[in-house]
Amino acid sequence: MVIPDRILMGPGPSNPYPEATIGLVRPVIGHLDPAFLQLLDETCDRLRRVWQTDNPLTLPVSGTGSAGMEAAFVNLVGPGDVVVVGVNGLFGERMCDVAGRCGAQVVRVDAPWGEPLDPDDLLRAHPAPKLIALVHAETSTGVRNDVAEVAAGKGGALVLADCVTSLGGIPVDIDRWGVDVAYSGTQKCLGVAPGLAPLTFGPAAWARRVERPQSWYLDLGMIGDYTSSASRKYHHTAPVAMIASLHGGLGALLDEGLETAWARHAACGAALQDGLVKMGLSLWAAEGHRLPELTTVLVPDGVDDAWVRAALLEGYGIEIGGGVGPWAGKVWRIGCMGHTARLRNVTLLLGALAEVLGR
Contacts of 139 (CB under 8 A, 6+ apart): 11, 12, 89, 90, 91, 164, 165, 188, 294, 333
What does residue 315 show for φ and ψ, rounded to 5 degrees? -85, -25
**Is 148 strand, coil or helix?**
helix
Torsion angles phi and psi, residue 62, rounded to 5: -70, 125
**64 lines the binding site for ligand PLP (CB under 6 A):** yes
- CB of residue 60 vs ligand PLP: minimum separation in angstroms? 12
Looking at beta carbons only, is 56 or 171 nearer to ligand PLP?
171
Range in contact with ligand PLP (rule: CB under 6 A) among 162-170, 202-210, 214-222, 312-320: 162-170
Quick one: 47 or 69, whose CB is closer to ligand PLP? 69
Alpha-carbon Rg for the chain in angstroms: 20
Check residue 324 for interaction with ligand PLP (CB under 6 A): no
Q: How far is the CB of 113 from ligand PLP (least distance, A)?
A: 13
Q: Is 153 a residue that touches ligand PLP (CB under 6 A)?
A: no
Q: Which of 16, 23, 60, 65 binds ligand PLP (CB under 6 A)?
A: 65
Interface residue with ligand PLP among 76, 117, 164, 334 (CB under 6 A) is: 164
Q: Under rule CB under 6 A, which residues in 208-237 are in contact with ligand PLP?
A: none
Interacting stretch for ligand PLP, rule CB under 6 A, among 60-68, 148-156, 228-236, 295-303? 60-68
Is 185 a residue that touches ligand PLP (CB under 6 A)?
yes
Return d(Cα 331, Cα 202) in angstroms, integer: 37
Backbone φ, ψ for residue 197 (5° rounding): -125, 95
Q: What is the smallest separation between the CB atom of 232 and ligand PLP, expressed in angstroms? A: 27
Say if CB 338 and CB 14 are below 8 A apart: yes
Q: Is 165 in the site for ligand PLP (CB under 6 A)?
A: yes
Residues 8-47 within binding reach of ligand PLP (CB under 6 A):
12
Residue 333 has φ and ψ, to the nearest 5°, of -120, 115
Determine the Cα–Cα distance for residues 319 and 185; give it in Å rounded to an integer. 19
Which lies closer to ligand PLP via its Cβ, residue 51 or residue 91? 91
92 contacts ligand PLP (rule: CB under 6 A): no
Residue 135 binding ligand PLP, by CB under 6 A: yes
CB 59 within 8 A of CB 223: yes
Count of residues of this chain found to bind ligand PLP when the rule CB under 6 A is applied: 13
74 vs 164, beta carbon nearer ligand PLP: 164
Length of the chain: 359
Binding segment for ligand PLP (CB under 6 A), chosen from 42-50, 159-167, 284-292, 312-320, is 159-167
Listed in sequence order, the DSSP H helices in the chain are: 18-24, 34-51, 65-76, 90-101, 119-124, 147-152, 174-177, 203-207, 220-227, 240-256, 258-278, 305-316, 343-357
Q: Which is nearer to ligand PLP, 64 or 295 (CB)?
A: 64
User: Which stretch in 1-9, 63-71, 78-86, 152-160 sits in contact with ligand PLP by CB under 6 A?
Assistant: 63-71
Which listed range, 107-115, 146-154, 161-169, 313-321, lies at the site for ligand PLP (CB under 6 A)? 161-169
Provide long-range contacts, Cβ within 8 A and 24+ apart, for 315-319: 315/352, 315/356, 316/7, 316/348, 316/352, 317/4, 317/5, 317/6, 317/7, 318/6, 318/7, 318/9, 318/348, 318/349, 318/352, 319/6, 319/7, 319/8, 319/9, 319/10
Which of 53, 58, 139, 245 is in the footprint of ligand PLP by CB under 6 A?
139
**CB of 134 or CB of 283, closer to ligand PLP:** 134
Q: In degrees to the nearest 10, what's the CA dihedral of 305, 311, 314, 317?
A: -80
- Applying CB under 6 A, which residues contact ligand PLP? 12, 64-66, 69, 91, 135, 139, 162, 164-165, 185, 194
